[in-house]
Amino acid sequence: MLPTLSRYAYSNITTRPDYSWPTDKRLAVYVALNIEQFSYGAGKGAAIAPPDQAQSHSIFSWRDYGNRVGVWRLFELFETLDVPIEAQMNTAIYEHCPDIPVKLRQRGDEIVGHGITNSEEQGHLSEEAEAALIRTVTETITQYEGQRPLGWMSPWLSNSEVTMDLLQEAGYRYVMDWTADDQPIWLTTRQGRLLSMPYPIECNDTRGIVWYGYTAGEFAEMLVDNFEEMLAQSVHQPLVCPIALHPFVVGRPYRLRQLRRAFAHILRHRDRIWLTRPRDIYAHIASLPAGMVPGS
C-alpha cells in the first residue's frame, strides 16, 4: 500500500460546489509578510551560503537587514498603495524589534503565530515540547495584542505528526503550513477540524529569489502572471492568491522597485478582487454551509 495521509482527502477543484467571496468577488488576494528573528551563531541558515558559513556574522546581518530597513520600506509601500497585510511573526520580535509589532498594531494588521525564532524548526520536538512551544507563542501574542491569534505558520513549515492536532487543541482556527490547494480546505485533527489556508511556495521571494535564483524582475513578472491567470480561472471557482514576502529579501531597494511595479499592476484590478487578510478568509469559509468546502 502506498503511504498516504489522513488530514485531507483527494478533491478535484473543478467539481466542487461554487461560492463567492464577499460582495461577489471571485479572487481573494492577501499579502503574507514573514517577520522573523534569528539567533546569532546558531540554528538554521537561509540556504544562501555553504553549510559551514550558515551561522556566520555575514549571514546573520544579511537577514537582520530585514528588520532594520526592509520591513520599514515595505510598510511605506503598502501604506502608499493602501494594501492590508498579514504578518507571521516570531515572538522574539517583541523583545528585539518592539517597534515592528507596534506598527502592525497601528495599521490594524493581522499577526499569525510563527514560533519564537526562525532559527529553529518545531517538527522534531516531542509532543510535550511542541505543545509548550505553541502555548508560549500563543500566550505571548495574546499578552501584547490583547487577543489570541487565529492562524499559525510553523517556522520553516516544519511539522511533526501531531502539529495539526496540537494547533487545533490550542484554539487555532487555520494553518498556513499545507500548500496543496488554491482554495481553503478543512483538515482533520483528532479533536475536530482546522482550516488549511493557501500559502505560496513559489510566489514567495525566499524560494523564488534566494533558492531558485530569479532576478527581481523575474519574480515581479511571476507575481503578475500568477495573478492574471488566477483572475481568469476564478470565473469558474473562487480562489485565493497569496503573496509571500520576506523583508530581508524583497526589502532591498532594487527588488522593492520591481515589487512596486507588480503591485501597481495587480491593484489596477482592485474593483475585481477581494484584497484581504487570512483571518477574514477564515471567517467567510467558516460561515459557509456544510458541504461547500472540502472536508466540511
Q: Which residue has the higher pLDDT, 93 or 53?
A: 93
Location of C-alpha cell 479533536: 191
pLDDT recorded at residue 2:
83
**Is a pLDDT exceeding 60 seen at residue 47?**
no
Whole-number Å distance between alpha carbons of 92 and 87 = 14
**Is a pLDDT exceeding 70 seen at residue 41?**
no
Q: Which three cell numbers stand for residue 14?
A: 473543478
pLDDT recorded at residue 38:
82
Question: Which DSSP string do the residues of 190-227 spell out, in sequence order?
Answer: TTEEEEE----SSSBHIIIIIIS---HHHHHHHHHHHH
**Is a pLDDT exceeding 60 seen at residue 6?**
yes
The CATH number assigned to the domain holding 220 equals 3.20.20.370
- Inside any domain, residue 162: yes
- Inside any domain, residue 133: yes
pTM for the whole thing? 0.94
Out of 113-122, 206-215, 263-272, the most confident range is 263-272
pLDDT recorded at residue 52:
65
- Inside any domain, residue 10: no
pLDDT recorded at residue 278:
98
Q: How many domains does the chain have?
A: 1
- Inside any domain, residue 139: yes
- Inside any domain, residue 228: yes
What mean pLDDT, rounded, does the chain reach?
93
- Inside any domain, residue 208: yes
- Inside any domain, residue 48: yes
Q: pLDDT digits over 133-165, tens only?
A: 999 999 999 999 999 999 999 998 899 999 999
Which residues are bridge partners to 34 per DSSP? 88
| Domain span including residue 243 | 19-286
pLDDT recorded at residue 13:
97
What is the band of 121 on the pLDDT scale with cuts at 50, 70, 90?
Answer: confident
- Inside any domain, residue 9: no
